[in-house]
Amino acid sequence: MTFSVTYAPRDGGTACLRLAGELDMSTAPELNAAIDRLAADGHRHLLVDLSELTFCDSTGIAAFVRGDNRAAAEGGWLRVTGASGRVQRVLQVTGLSDVLRYDPDTPDPTSRTVP
């Protein structure tokens, strides 16, 4: 399966990203580039929907951490939701579910209120 990242900027410095496919060493640069574009456009709050992400390796985890660090440096945050199966397990084992305030019960990050 190929990887895709789509996003929709919203008002107030927020953007919603939806990842699909496999996030790994060959595809993480695409996520990093999307985060960089959104940050350059002034989006400091990133909501990332993982419901269609089927795989995530350590490079993908690093992309999430990098995105969260970049947003935090500007007073923002990166949050994830919708993961299942292996992706959810990776978030739990690495501790990112706590760091990124992962909420498995919110399939659509646009419906989520995050401080």
Q: How many domains does the chain have?
A: 1
Which pLDDT tens digit goes with each residue over 49-101?
999 999 999 999 999 999 999 999 999 999 999 999 999 999 999 999 888 88
| Rounded CA separation 46/13 (Å) | 9
At 101 the pLDDT is: 80
| Rounded CA separation 20/3 (Å) | 6
**Would you say residue 110 has pLDDT above 80?**
no
Is residue 45 within 8 Å of 15, Cβ to Cβ?
A: yes
Residue holding tokens 């993480």?
28
List the domain range (segments joined by +) for residue 78: 4-111
| Rounded CA separation 1/21 (Å) | 6
Residue 46 belongs to a domain with what CATH number? 3.30.750.24
Confidence tier at 109 by pLDDT (50, 70, 90) = very low
Average pLDDT over residues 2-15: 87
